[in-house]
Amino acid sequence: MKKEILTLLIILTCFINENALSANTDSAHEQQKALKDIFGFQDSFDRSPEQQWAKDVIEDIKTEMGDVSVYRGQECRVKIHFTERAALKKIEISNHQGLCDRAYIAIRHIYQFPLPEKSKLLHPLYQTLTLTFIP
């Protein structure tokens, strides 16, 4: 059976320092690098432990959700709030269609997510993760 690929758009919700994108950089290349650093668009070998953690969280959720091909045509936004120890604190979903319900159940089932590598606490920047599921 052909496995369907679940497309995930990740939007890490965070407070970005207003100066992070200011004209302090000297060239367009440096500005592009700054954007990549802030939003995590980096090659896997350049990922921070927190960025790798977010990727692992998504993979865990995808695995727990299983085959979602029956929900083709639906879209679901899920906002996950974590404690500083990466336990589930709160889940907000955009609707109560089957896809969102399935995502909600999968996330609740996992409940305790692992911390990023070599971290004792989850950085506040990563305590809120917003995902968009589109099968």
Domains of the chain in sequence order: 7-14+46-134 (3.30.1150.10)
CA angle centred on 91, ends 90 and 97, rounded to 5°: 160
- Asked if residue 54 lies in contact with residue 40, where contact means CB atoms within 8 angstroms, the answer is yes
pTM: 0.65
Phi, psi for residue 40 in degrees, rounded to 5:
80, 20
Phi, psi for residue 78 in degrees, rounded to 5:
-125, 130
- pLDDT tens over the chain, length 135 residues: 433 333 333 333 332 222 333 333 345 556 656 656 555 555 555 678 888 899 999 999 999 999 999 999 999 999 999 999 999 999 999 998 999 999 999 999 999 999 998 889 998 988 999 999 999
